[in-house]
Amino acid sequence: MAINGQSTDQAALLDAELELWTTTFSYIKSMALKSALDLKLADAIHSHGGAATLPQIITKVDIHPSKIPCLRRLMRTLTASGVFTLQQHNAKTPANEPTYTLTPSTQLLVSSRPRNLASIMAMLLNPALVIPFLEIGSWFRHPMPDPCIFSHTHGEALWDMAGRDPWFDALINDGMVSDSRFIMDVAVKECGQVFEGVGSLVDVGGGLGAASQVISKAFPRLECSVMDLAHVVARAPSGSGVKYVAGDMFESVPPADAVFLKWVLHDWGDDECVKILKNCKKAIPSRENGGKVIIFDIVVGVGQSAVKHQEMHALFDLYIMLVNGIERDEQEWEKIFLEAGFSGYKIMPVLGFRSIIEVYP
């Protein structure tokens, strides 16, 4: 049977070709988004009320006049990939000038909004974190134990580079701050019961304390402290209402009613996680006295069955191989909890593609 002059077999072959091209060019979508961040295109459109023509956008961005035609082509890619939407010209715009509008996703890239994700997206798209993925094929040919993908490319671990390079350290911490402010604002509004009744909490590996600051503001009677490495704590803001403690979670954790771990354990293998969790268990009271560990992380296969959620779990698991980390399913989480001496846990898939896990001594 022919379809528009093509046999069914040939049409299927061309569809398969298109699928390969689309998957291969996925990195173009990411780099187009990086360009939008670099040029602050979302800010430019936002400054015009959330909808702007190309001439209006140009007045707000720093580009060479000779590149204006190229900007139109970039905007075409960004609209085709759903980053922005396109409205054809109307009576309020010059003839033949379409209007670009923000989507719910790109509203999260407007830097003036208190709850934005511009910094973490800029972090994830930084060449230092992108280039290592070009080396995955080479990395797979080496036996384990082996340097992680990041070290394989850069010759040093991510955390060592952050400790050595203040600019890279700021990139990582600023990215995590933006993510923490976003997800914690949702968490305290929708899942505040997790923190109710807790007298004191230590945020282990909490960076500059963005998560703890949100918790402290929402629960003023809850005494919050942050423990991280000395070079991180040195950059901590003053007057935040949160106490900062320099330390190493592999050695000990300050005592508190609850220990909070946001996107920490997925960075580490099972042995390291068990060691961290054992130190957390030593720091908290018994379950009967309210002791618990609160984890914000991915639980693979748990939560919404939507394709985007499943794909994000798979993509994040490959991404976190960058530092020899792993995204765990429920059985893998349970294994390290039991090895660390905990008696039980509860998984709440309530944060989009992430979950809250309460672990009890």
Mind telling me the catalytic residues? 266
Contact, 253 vs 319, CB < 8 A?
Answer: no
**142 CB-side CA count, 13 A:** 13
User: How far is Cα 172 from Cα 297, in angstroms, rounded to an integer?
Assistant: 18
Gap between the Cα atoms of 111 and 68, Å rounded: 23
354-360 and 299-300 strand pairing: unpaired
Closest by CA position to 130, among listed 105, 153, 156: 153
Tell me the one-letter amino acid at 52: A
How far is Cα 87 from Cα 101, in angstroms, rounded to an integer? Answer: 8
- What is the C-alpha to C-alpha distance for residues 202 and 207, in angstroms, rounded to an integer? 12
Omega into 114 within 30° of 0, i.e. cis?
A: no
Do the Cβ atoms of 84 and 106 come closer than 8 Å? yes
Measured distance CA(115)–CA(300) in Å, rounded: 26
